[in-house]
């Protein structure tokens, strides 16, 4: 069985039994996959299947996506618009004609209007831990987006850390707790609104493409958390030789980027949407730092124009640029590396981009302190030892030690960070 052949499709009426089993398994009844099936379970599956065959219930086949490998269903996700949740739930539970093992009157609403609610996701036991659930959830999120519903939500048991980690890595965030099915659940929520968009204007697009299509930046784009578009300024010149630069007036050495290609490119982008900033990378700009990265990462749409040659025609800076930024006091051959550095710093702090958001917030510089040292196994390598406190398991002492180390390292290596 090749996971590469995984296909995700809407369920059909004939999938109803599979949907029923999945919903039951999601509610903790893994015995639905036993062979032979206990008689009682068999009867229960039959009854739930008849519910899933309907179109007007929460667990309808109509509300379900199926993941299949070589035509065999291996996982399913039941999800629906929260708008009609209450009446759908009433109808659904009324059909369960047996006694429920929780008091439905005490149950809070799992979802409501404005939410695409991922009710239950189940992967067959022998197909778990292969990323199938993740793909199915992504398809569910996609559906919510296509329906233009502002949020996608789900519930998770508060101590199911593995599931929470998965949901967080998909961009879900904790959003309160609710009491349902006789237990407390953590609600998690993801916004489906358009992601941040970064447009980079350059004469050397190939210099950026490799970088943007690697690792975390590539994943952030695939996850839909950011859109990054690279524009070749040569595509915007009207010059028949595709020139984008010319000799400077006044006759000093070096070439200057012309107004026309830059202006035409920016104008065409601004016709499509509003931009919060038009940034120009230049060694004489304001120094880029973590607070500036944080500020940019809150924006919706930004343009970054990469400087090149001797610079750009000053009229571009006067009329179109809203911010001029340098990444440090040294001169690079072009602004592409600076744009790459800024893009990386901006994108990695967008919620959901790095699995554990906590780790972005505890970075060096986020609290004006350098990060404390970190270690991994083995505890003793060639006699080089990991500090005892980290092996102690004493949470409070460890946090204190980390803070002491952070302060000591900052005082010694970057006293300037402490002075302001
Ligand atoms: Cl933004 N551009 C260039 N060319 N050199 C730089 C820089 C930018 N930041 C530091 N050095």
Question: pLDDT per residue over 140-183, tens digit each?
Answer: 999 999 999 999 999 999 999 999 999 988 889 889 999 988 88
Pairing of strands 151-156, 173-180: unpaired
Q: List pLDDT tens digits, range 361-403.
A: 667 777 889 999 999 999 999 999 999 999 999 999 999 999 9
pLDDT for 358: 54
Q: Go through the chain and tell me how many residues it has.
A: 420
| Prior bond of 336 cis (ω within 30°) | no
Confidence of residue 359 (pLDDT cuts 50, 70, 90): low
Site to probe by mutation for ligand 1, drawn from 254, 257, 325, 332 as the one with most ligand atoms within 8 Å of Cβ, is 332
Could you tell me if the CB of 202 is within 6 A of ligand 1?
no
User: Residue 357 above 60 pLDDT?
Assistant: no
Could you tell me if the CB of 192 is within 6 A of ligand 1?
no
Percent of the chain with pLDDT over 70: 96
Could you tell me if the CB of 310 is within 6 A of ligand 1?
no
Q: Give the helix ranges, DSSP H, for 236-319.
A: 259-272, 290-297, 314-319
The DSSP 8-state label assigned to residue 260 in this structure reads H
b/e map 78-90, b = 16+ CB within 10 Å: bbbbbbebeebbe
Confidence of residue 412 (pLDDT cuts 50, 70, 90): very high
> Cα separation of 247 and 238, whole Å?
17
Structure tokens at 30: 């893994």
Q: List pLDDT tens digits, range 3-17.
A: 778 999 999 999 999
Q: Look up the CATH architecture of domain 362-419.
A: Orthogonal Bundle (1.10)
Could you tell me if the CB of 351 is within 6 A of ligand 1?
no
Determine the distance separating the centroid of ligand 1 and the alpha carbon of 121, expressed in angstroms: 48
> Cα separation of 174 and 164, whole Å?
9
Q: Phi, psi at residue 195, to the nearest 5°? A: -75, 170
Q: What are 174's strand-pairing partners?
A: 188
pLDDT for 420: 64
pLDDT for 287: 98
Confidence of residue 356 (pLDDT cuts 50, 70, 90): low
> Cα separation of 219 and 229, whole Å?
15
Determine the distance separating the centroid of ligand 1 and the alpha carbon of 211, expressed in angstroms: 17
Q: What is the largest CA-CA distance in the chain?
A: 93
> Cα separation of 261 and 233, whole Å?
6
pLDDT for 362: 65
Could you tell me if the CB of 334 is within 6 A of ligand 1?
yes
Stated pTM of the model:
0.67
Q: Across residues 215-229, what is the average pLDDT?
A: 91
> Cα separation of 232 and 290, whole Å?
28
Could you tell me if the CB of 327 is within 6 A of ligand 1?
yes
Q: Across residues 14-41, what is the average pLDDT?
A: 91
Superfamily (CATH) of domain 3-191:
Gcn5-related N-acetyltransferase (GNAT) (3.40.630.30)
> Cα separation of 58 and 64, whole Å?
10
Q: List pLDDT tens digits, range 258-280.
A: 999 999 999 999 999 999 999 99
First-to-final CA distance of the chain: 59
Could you tell me if the CB of 374 is within 6 A of ligand 1?
no
Judge if 3-191 and 196-347 fold alike in CATH terms. no
> Cα separation of 307 and 333, whole Å?
9
Cβ–Cβ < 8 Å for 74, 127: yes
Please determine, looking at this structure, whether the domain spanning 196-347 carries the CATH number 2.40.40.20: no
C-alpha angle 159-160-161 in degrees, rounded to nearest 5: 90
Please tell me which residue, 37 or 336, carries the higher pLDDT value.
336
Determine the distance separating the centroid of ligand 1 and the alpha carbon of 219, expressed in angstroms: 27
Domain ranges of the chain: 3-191, 196-347, 362-419
Q: Phi, psi at residue 206, to the nearest 5°? A: -65, -25
Q: List pLDDT tens digits, range 92-146.
A: 988 887 667 777 778 889 999 999 999 999 999 999 999 999 999 999 999 999 9
Taking all residues of the chain, what is their mean pLDDT, rounded to a whole number? 92
Q: Single out the residue of 82, 220, 62, 64 nearest to residue 153, CA to CA.
A: 82
């Amino acid at each position: 069985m090749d996971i590469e052949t995984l296909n995700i499709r809407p369920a059909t009426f004939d999938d109803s039994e599979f949907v029923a089993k999945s919903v039951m398994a999601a509610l903790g009844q893994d015995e639905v996959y036993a062979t032979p099936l206990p008689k009682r379970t068999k009867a229960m599956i039959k009854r739930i299947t008849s519910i899933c065959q309907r179109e007007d219930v929460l667990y309808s086949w109509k509300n379900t996506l199926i993941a299949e490998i070589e035509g065999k269903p291996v996982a399913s996700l039941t999800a629906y618009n929260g708008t009609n949740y209450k009446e759908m739930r009433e109808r659904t539970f009324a059909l369960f004609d047996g006694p429920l093992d929780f008091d439905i009157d005490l149950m809070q609403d799992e979802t409501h209007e404005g939410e695409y609610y991922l009710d239950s996701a189940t992967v067959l036991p022998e197909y778990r831990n292969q990323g199938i659930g993740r793909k199915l959830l992504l398809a569910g999120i996609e559906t919510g987006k296509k329906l233009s519903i502002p949020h996608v939500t789900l519930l998770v048991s508060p101590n199911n850390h593995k599931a929470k980690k998965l949901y967080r890595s998909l961009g879900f965030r904790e959003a309160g707790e609710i009491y349902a099915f006789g237990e407390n659940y953590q609600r998690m929520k993801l916004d489906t609104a358009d992601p941040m968009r970064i447009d980079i204007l350059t004469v050397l697009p190939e210099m950026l493409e490799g970088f943007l299509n690697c690792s975390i930046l590539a994943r952030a784009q695939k996850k839909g958390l950011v859109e990054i578009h690279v524009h070749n300024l040569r595509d915007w010149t009207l010059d028949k030789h595709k020139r984008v630069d010319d000799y400077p007036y006044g006759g000093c050495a070096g070439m200057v980027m012309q107004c026309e290609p830059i202006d035409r490119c920016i104008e065409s982008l601004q016709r499509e949407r509003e931009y919060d900033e038009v940034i120009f990378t230049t060694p004489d700009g304001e120094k880029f730092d973590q607070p500036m990265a944080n500020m940019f990462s809150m924006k919706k749409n930004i343009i970054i124009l990469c400087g090149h040659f001797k610079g750009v025609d000053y009229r571009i800076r006067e009329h179109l640029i809203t911010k001029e930024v340098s990444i440090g006091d040294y001169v690079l051959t072009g602004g592409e590396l600076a744009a790459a550095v800024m893009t990386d710093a901006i994108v990695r702090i967008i919620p959901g981009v790095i699995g554990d958001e906590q780790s972005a917030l505890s970075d060096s510089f986020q609290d004006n302190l350098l990060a404390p040292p970190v270690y991994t196994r083995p505890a003793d390598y060639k006699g080089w030892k990991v500090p005892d406190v980290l092996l102690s398991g004493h949470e409070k002492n460890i946090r204190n030690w980390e803070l002491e180390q952070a302060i000591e390292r900052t005082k010694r290596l970057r006293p300037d960070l402490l002075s302001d």
